[in-house]
Structure 1
Amino acid sequence: MNSPPESPTSPLAVLRDDVRALHAYAVQPAAGLVKLDVMENPFPLPAALQAELGQRLGAVALNRYPAERTEGLRTALARHARLPAGGALMLGNGSDELISLLTQAIAKPGACVMSPLPSFVMYAMSAQLLGVRFVGVPCRADDFQLDREAMLAAIAAEKPALLWLAYPNNPTGTLWDTATLDALVDAMAPHGLVVMDEAYQPFAANDSLHRLRQPHVLVMRTMSKFGLAGVRIGYLMGDAALVAEVEKLRPPFNVSVLNTEAALFALEHEAEYARQAAQIRAQRERLFTALQALPGVTPFPSQANMVLARFPDAAATFALLKAKGILVKNVSAMHPMLTNCLRLTVGTPDETSQLIQALT
């Protein structure tokens, strides 16, 4: 049955057609399930630290706007990340806000944003919402590595103002080839910015901080994978003059006092989070080895806190796991190269055992 035509006086009529055609970000209900679908750190804080954090948050001046404490957080994050001299650091309400602000910053008429595909969906989404042309360049089909020649050709033809490189990549967990990265960064130097999105840096063998020597390179990180997904702290590092220009677009007081205090507390206890990251890396290798032993299953090497694997029937496997109380992410519809792929977040040792047993 067709819906009645919308009245031209409806409040919805003033909204953009492309916005109304979008689907809101969907979060799968996870009550009662082992939650392995959105790359969270599975470890809570030890009870003693939880109590100490509660006392800290209870003393926060909620009647005041964030100010000095956010400046303290910038300083603490710069020290934690080992920001090189001459660089600056900008805070965001999660990486998503920084992605939007960077896209706003380059949104001149005719500007182009580029990313390998498949990759983080918010690069293309932010470009679409801000009226910026997005160009995606498919990765190599066999191993999800960057297609060097295709990327260089696309950069030469399109001259993107902004190139996103998730390192490691989401949803594949791939750590890009260093020589290819060098070539792409050099190719972008005359006309655009390169953003190394290091959301999964706590689990990776390499990082990109040395690339900040080149003034057109920025490094973006988040505290979500560090262990504070509920706190929503992202940060951008780069040449001080460049970061200062992007900073002009940041909404005032975009990071709350509670989030700031929780982040400062976490950085004071970074050894605990480093211990958790080491456990996650160990469970990742255990899960990858188990997936390799399953007939018909192809896992892809990962340097993140998830493993992408291709199954004979991803939908059936997803349903089977959910019936056994385990929630993962079916990414098959995200891109044709991900057909029959599931993304499996790395959990605790017990959660990994449950996942392996269910798949076996």
Structure 2
Amino acid sequence: MNAAADITAPANPALGRIRADVQSMHAYAVQDARGLLKLDAMENPHGLPPALQAELGARLGALALNRYPGDRGNDLKRALAAHARMPQGFALMLGNGSDELISLLAMACDLPGAGVLAPVPGFVMYAMSAQLQGLKFTGVPLTADFELDGAAMLAAIARDKPAIVYLAYPNNPTANLWDDAVIEKIVEAQGAQGGLVVMDEAYQPFAARSYIDRIQRHRHVLLMRTLSKFGLAGVRLGYLMGPAALIAEVDKVRPPYNISVLNCECALFALEHAAVFEAQAEAIRAERAKLLAGLAQLPGLKVWPSDANMVLVRVPDATKAFDGLRARGVLVKNVSKMHELLANCLRLTVGTADENAQMLAALRDSL
């Protein structure tokens, strides 16, 4: 019998060289979306117009793929700084998506006893990157309505003195912006004990507010964004802004050539045509309002306000509703097992008008 097919074959001894905590982890799961309307990953549903596709294709085809990335990355940093209105005295570093930046921050702050703190439920990579780097992760539960528990956050900062506090603005998967006064108390408390705050603005194109106008008040606050929700999820381009001295230290742990010439040129091209993507974001915000209104009409469903391109809803039975949507050709995200506060919750990506109508009809039938 083939040893690969023999279930009695002994385990590969090389597995013993892999950390036990890694072996006990679950890999980040990406759902199979083949043949389904994909509304599970907060992607921009709009592609490039054909004329821009052709123009971008010509630019990418002319790149020197035989050379390592060069100064074009500095061109991209300057373009992103202008696009984001980065203040004087601040600097910017690039990541292969926000995920890499989160990992690099954990690596840079990995001092003995260091930890990471964030509200939960939140973006899973904060905890995962901390664990992989050997840092303690502290999750502070949100309130029942997914607001920051200011007292609990301040108590955790005083107790654990974390190296990094992450505040997603808006939050994933709850899609809300938190109270600015509570955020400032957390920022000040973290600064007083010598730690960093990372404001994660992945969903900034759809939000009513940004922290960019407040970032100059503090020497310990970094602001992280991505072009994934801007409309380039497939390009994998994130960026981190902050006081130049801080960014210079974090940038030392960045792998050389972490941004390919293809990623770089796609991002520059998108910024040159920012008006196209801003119009797409405006359309998504308009469709979000219609989707929220439609969801409010469904019986037995609770819907929360959104400042992102997703909507969180609670249904009577999340598994039944998720399976019913999938059977009707619509894929969303069942987040009900992520945290007890998310019991029976689904996360719905805001799509086009037709996609949202199809999702609403499928959800109505699935309930």
Question: TM bucket by the smaller chain?
Answer: over 0.9
Shifted more, 25-34 versus 112-121: the winner is: 25-34
CA contact (8 A) 1:211 1:217 kept: no
In structure 2, the residue matched to 1:326 is 330
1:19 to 19, 22, 28: 22
SS of residue matched to 1:218: strand
- For residues 126-205 of structure 1, the aligned pairs below 5 Å read 126-141=129-144, 143-190=145-192, 191-205=194-208
Q: Give the C-alpha shift of residue 178 in structure 1.
A: 0.6
Deviations 1:215-254 (A, max 9, x none): 1000000000000000000000000000000000000000
What TM-score does the superposition give when structure 1 sets the normalisation length? 0.97
Identity of aligned residues (%): 63
In the TM superposition, residue 121 of structure 1 has moved relative to its aligned partner by 0.3
- Indicate yes or no: 2:94 matched with 1:95: no
Distance apart, 1:293 and its partner CA = 1.3
- The one-letter code matched in structure 2 to 1:48 is A
The 5 A counterparts of 1:21-40 are: 21-40=24-43
TM-score by length of 2: 0.95
Question: Which residue identity lines up with residue 187 of structure 1 in the other structure?
Answer: A
How far apart, CA to CA, are the structure 1 residues paired with 2:137 and 2:68?
37
Structure 1 gap ranges (5+): none
Match of 1:54 in 2: 57
By how many angstroms is 1:158 displaced?
Answer: 1.2
Gaps (5+ residues) in structure 2? Answer: 1-6
User: What is the DSSP-based 3-state SS (H/G/I as helix, E as strand, rest coil) of the residue aligned with 2:253?
Assistant: coil
Structure 1 letter corresponding to 2:187: V
For residues 107-149 of structure 1, the C-alpha deviation after alignment (integer angstroms, 9 at most, x for no partner) is: 11111110000000000001111110010000001x2010111
Q: What's the C-alpha RMSD, in Å, of the aligned pairs?
A: 1.3
Q: In structure 2, what is the equivalent of residue 280 of structure 1? A: 284
**Where does 1:260-299 land on structure 2 (aligned, <5 Å)?**
260-299=264-303
Contact 1:318 1:342 in 2 (8 A): yes
Matched-pair contact (CA < 8 Å) for 1:313–1:340: yes
Answer yes or no: is the 8 Å Cα contact 1:212–1:239 preserved in 2: no
Distance 1:259 1:63 in 2: 15
Letter in 2 for 1:181: I
The alpha carbon displacement at 1:212 in A equals: 2.0
Residue-pair matches, total? 357
Is residue 311 from structure 1 mapped to residue 315 from structure 2 by the alignment?
yes
- Poorly superposed stretches of 4+, deviation over 2 Å: 3-7
Q: Which amino acid letter does the alignment assign opposite residue 347 of structure 2?
A: R
Q: Is the 8 A contact 1:192 1:216 kept in 2?
A: yes
Q: What letter corresponds to residue 307 of structure 1 in structure 2?
A: V
